Amino acid sequence: MASTPLRTFYPPIEPYNTGRLRVSPIHEIYFEESGNPKGKPVVFVHGGPGSGTDPKQRRFFDPAAYRIVLFDQRGCGKSTPFASVEENTTWHLVEDMETLRRHLGIEQWLVFGGSWGSTLSLAYAQKHPERVSELVLRGIFLLRQQEIRWFYQHGAHTIFPDAWEDYLAPIPPEERGDLVQAYHKRLMGDDPKVRQEAARAWSIWEGRTSYLAPNANYIAHLGEDEFSLAFARIECHYFINRAWLSSDTQLLDDVPRIRHIPAVIVQGRYDMCCPMDSAWALHKAWPEAELKIIPDAGHAAYELGTTDALIEATDRFRK
């Protein structure tokens, strides 16, 4: 029997509207709209925190059916001030999404997020469930301490010992007992050379572990000076503050608020950044959500099976 061809990205499109929205006395966020102005609203919630959006992210959605909203979270992408961690918390970002929704005159939208984007999507949906029509989540990250320890302290290094050595390099041996704290000290410090060295090492570690098969272009992008500075500073700021969640299990404990919302969870079996245990825990707490395990994928949204499953979900929900 012939296998069904994998779905792939919709053709490239340009925004029909771009803008900047002041969300605090300090911060302005960049946003854009593409696709069908009268279509079903969907908001893309990017990862990191601190990675910003990319034009390719418009292409997960049928442009004839969807009004596609992308925005850069505080401190990254085209939002300003760049790499700022001041007034930059999970709950600021949740309310930024609400401010943007109201600004665009949207009543409800499909919320689509992966990695940290899944974290923020869950936090937003649990705070504002009446504003979410569906959820499409990928590479589940619940920001529990076991997840931070796995990737930044012990666990993933057993699979990537070569990449781990480069991640350790900026930190002297006597400070390696708490690597997130050691990186935070450098990323928030006054020495620009030390900041940049730490930012590059932190970001490249994630780049080298995100794909099942190494993606040299992605690794190079994460190692760029400007990108890595915002990415590493904002991520480390969120992780050391435990994303300002009330408990390690808040996002699981609050699942009852969103169990009525149609949802698809897409998870790579071999995700090193956000291991499948988190997606499994979310699915156990939320059995109504469909869990799609991709047997030959890691963390990235752009691996073939993961892309196929994400677009299958958005195609189904466009109706």
**Catalytic positions, please?**
115, 271, 299
Rounded to an integer, what distance in angstroms lies between the CA atom of residue 150 and that of residue 235? 15
Polymer length of the chain: 319
Neighbours of 296 (CB within 10 A): 13
Residue given tokens 């605090």 in the structure block: 24
The candidate with the shortest Cα–Cα distance to 11, out of 75, 54, 59, 60, is 59
Q: What are phi and psi of 176, to 5 degrees?
A: -80, 0
Listing DSSP states for the chain in one string gives -PPPPPP-PPPP---SEEEEEE-SSS-EEEEEEEE-TTSEEEEEE-STTTT---GGGGGGS-TTTEEEEEEPPTTSTT-BSTT--TT--HHHHHHHHHHHHHHTT-S-EEEEEETHHHHHHHHHHHH-GGGEEEEEEES-----HHHHHHHHTSSGGGT-HHHHHHHHTTS-GGGTTSHHHHHHHHHTSS-HHHHHHHHHHHHHHHHHHSSSS--HHHHHHHTSHHHHHHHHHHHHHHHHTGGG-SSTTHHHHTGGGTTTS-EEEEEETT-SSS-HHHHHHHHHH-TTSEEEEETT--S-TTSHHHHHHHHHHHHHHT-
